[in-house]
Structures are given as structure tokens and as C-alpha cells.
């Protein structure tokens, strides 16, 4: 147990909680499979090819997050009430209409024809690659030792694919929170190569615009997603700043 990384503890703890609250046996089964995979990787690193299994443990949280979070995300729809008055949605639609049409946001996006809308749609699609890109950036810059800490932010990265739309748990926007979280992480753990972090933050802004313009999310979902990323950044930056101040 002491050999587990922080990311592995985080994933096991989070999905243990999901297995407990779920009415289905599937999350529990996937949790057992995930724990078995982690155990094999830990054992392999200690008793086998250390480098191979160590690298495998860098990437395993991405795979586990993808598979388990898709299941958890889908099952959150079970918590949707049978009836509600939509008062929040109606208010959010009014705000979005003011932003898109009243303030000219839509006209600005479409001022160059299909160029900007196509770029925004492409950015929204690429969110699914944020996790692998962030780990790859650390590898390229020979900072693999920082992968384990940085990937703790990926608990917010809910990988959404076509056919997985649900009526609940879409607030806040996971696309926005994951993109901004990756940006904060790259700024923190690659301070000598800030171009990665600033580039990711610029990309995150593009994703935010795409989410509202493409009507994937309400504007409040985007703002809440940005807020989630700040919470994640605070969890990581806080202890580091305390150490730097008192170190």
C-alpha cells in the first residue's frame, strides 16, 4: 500500500466512492479490475522490469480515468429527478441569448465565415487529448519525475463522447475545467518552459468559447468549470507555496 502513487490513491478512493453509491454492480467490478491493474504494475516495478512498469504507471491513470469516469458519468443520470420546473435552465438560456445575440458574440465568431467556428469545434474535440498531451510535454522536456504530481488534477477530466449525453451532472463543464487544470499544472511543473502552460491556457479559452458558441454548455457551466480548475490549482499550488514560504 505504501508503494502506491498519489494518483493511484486518488483514483481508487474516488471510484470506491462511486461503487458505494451506485445501484449497479458495474462500477464495483471495474473498480476491482482497476485495483488489480494497479497491483500488477506496482508488483512489476518492484520485482520485474522497473523502467517499463514505472512508465506504464505514468499512463495507467489516463486509461483508468477514461474508462471508469465514462461509467460514473453515465450513471450520474440516475440522479436526475423525474420532474423539475427548469427555472434555472430558462434563466441561463436568457443569459446566453444576451451574450450570443444581444452583445454580438455570435456575429464576432462568424465574422470570418467558417474559419473561426471550425477552429472552435476542433478545439472542443481535442479536449480528449489534453491528458496525453500534458504527460507527453513532461516527457519531451525530460521532466518525467513530475508526472505523478501533475496527474492528480485529472480527477476533473471527464471524458465525454458522442452518445454519452445525460440530463444531469453537466454542470460544471468538464471540458473547460480539464483544459484549464492542465494549463495550471504545466505552468507549475514546467516553469522553465512556460510556453506549454500559456499555450494550454490559450487553448482552454478557445474551448470555453466553443462550449458556449456551439451550445454544448450554458455560459454558467463554463464559468463553473473555470472555478473548478482554480480549486484544483489551489490544491496543488497551496502546499507548494507554503513550503516555499517556510522552507
DSSP string of 164-224?
---SSS--S-HHHHHHHHHHHHHHHH-GGGHHHHHHHHHHHHHHHHHHHHTTSS-HHHHHH
Q: In 3D, which of 103, 89, 126, 90 has the Cα closest to residue 202? A: 126
Q: For residue 144, give Cα distances in angstroms to 54, 57, 152, 174.
A: 10, 12, 14, 26
**Cα–Cα separations (whole angstroms), residue 195 to 124, 168, 190, 204:** 21, 36, 9, 14
Burial class of residue 148 in the structure, from the number of CB atoms within 10 Å of its CB (0-12 exposed, 13-18 middle, 19+ buried): middle
pTM: 0.64
pLDDT at 198: 92
Q: Which pLDDT band, with edges at 50, 70 and 90, does 246 fall under?
A: low
C-alpha 207 chain-centroid distance: 12
Query: Could you give the percent of the chain with pLDDT greater than 70?
Result: 74
Write down the pLDDT at residue 121: 83
Chain segment 145-187, per-residue pLDDT in tens: 666 654 333 333 333 333 444 455 567 787 888 889 888 888 8
pLDDT tens-digit profile of 50-77? 888 888 888 777 777 766 666 666 666 6
Amino acid at each position: 500500500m505504501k508503494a502506491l502513487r498519489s494518483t493511484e490513491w486518488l483514483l481508487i478512493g474516488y471510484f470506491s466512492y462511486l461503487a458505494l453509491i451506485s445501484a449497479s454492480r458495474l462500477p464495483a467490478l471495474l473498480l476491482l479490475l482497476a485495483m488489480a491493474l494497479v497491483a500488477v504494475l506496482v508488483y512489476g516495478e518492484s520485482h520485474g522490469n522497473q523502467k517499463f512498469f514505472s512508465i506504464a504507471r505514468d499512463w495507467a491513470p489516463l486509461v483508468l480515468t477514461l474508462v471508469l469516469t465514462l461509467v460514473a458519468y453515465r450513471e450520474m443520470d440516475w440522479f436526475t429527478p423525474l420532474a423539475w420546473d427548469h427555472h434555472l435552465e430558462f434563466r441561463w438560456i436568457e443569459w446566453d441569448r444576451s451574450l450570443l445575440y444581444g452583445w454580438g458574440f455570435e456575429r464576432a465568431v462568424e465574422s470570418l465565415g467558417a474559419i473561426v467556428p471550425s477552429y472552435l469545434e476542433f478545439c472542443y474535440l481535442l479536449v480528449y487529448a489534453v491528458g496525453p498531451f500534458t504527460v507527453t510535454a513532461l516527457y519531451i522536456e525530460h521532466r518525467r519525475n513530475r508526472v505523478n504530481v501533475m496527474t492528480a488534477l485529472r480527477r476533473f477530466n471527464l471524458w465525454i463522447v458522442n452518445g454519452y449525453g445525460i440530463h444531469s451532472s453537466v454542470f460544471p463543464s468538464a471540458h473547460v475545467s480539464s483544459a484549464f487544470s492542465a494549463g495550471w499544472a504545466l505552468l507549475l511543473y514546467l516553469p522553465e518552459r512556460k510556453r506549454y502552460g500559456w499555450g494550454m491556457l490559450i487553448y482552454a479559452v478557445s474551448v470555453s468559447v466553443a462550449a458556449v458558441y456551439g451550445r454544448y454548455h450554458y455560459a454558467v457551466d463554463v464559468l463553473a468549470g473555470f472555478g473548478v480548475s482554480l480549486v484544483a490549482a489551489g490544491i496543488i499550488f497551496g502546499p507548494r507555496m507554503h513550503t516555499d514560504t517556510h522552507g
